[in-house]
Each structure stands twice: as C-alpha cells, then as structure tokens.
Amino acid sequence: MIVAEADFWNPIEPSWELWLLLIIVLVLLTAGSTVWWLLTPDEPEMDTKELVDKAVARDREQARTISRRQDADAGRADTSEPELR
C-alpha cells in the first residue's frame, strides 16, 4: 500500500524535538569523554623500570643465542656447546 503523503526521499518529517534530543546526547557524550580524558593519568602508577630491564635482558640473551647459533651454522663458532645444537 502506497501512502500519498510520504515521499521516497523524505519518508519522515523532520522534528525539532528529535534534533534537540540528538544535540543533547552529542553534547553529553562530548563532555563525558572530555572529563574522562582529563582525569585519566598519562603514566602508569607503578614503576615499570624493573620489568623493562628484565625484558631487555631476556631479549638481549635471546639475540646473543641466535647470533651464536648462526655463527655455528656458518662455521664461524664452536658447535660443541649444548645450547648451539
């Protein structure tokens, strides 16, 4: 059934109440996100230096092992070490 008043490109008449509601929601969300952004700390509260140092040491040890394995594969190092086999 085709309704004569409703046009294809404009099926719903604009409503000022709807626009006002959308603007209010937009303003509240913007204000809320701004307050949340201002209250969120930039840096973590705990000191992460020990964790970072531990991770760096582990990564460097893994890099040394990989480098020694590549040297052993290329014949530039002693392959008798257990970790290189």
pLDDT tens-digit profile of 13-26?
Answer: 778 898 999 999 99
Q: For the segment 56-65, what is each residue's pLDDT rounded down to a tens digit?
A: 999 999 999 8
What pTM was computed for the model? 0.41
Residue 7: is its pLDDT beyond 60?
A: yes
Mean per-residue pLDDT for 29-39?
Answer: 95
CA angle 19, 29, 31 (to 5 degrees): 115
Residue 70: is its pLDDT beyond 80?
A: yes
CB-based contacts of 68: which residues, under 8 Å, 6+ apart? 77, 81, 83, 84
Structural domain spans, the chain: 50-74
Residue 66: is its pLDDT beyond 80?
A: yes
The answer to whether the CB of 72 falls within 8 A of the CB of 78 is: yes
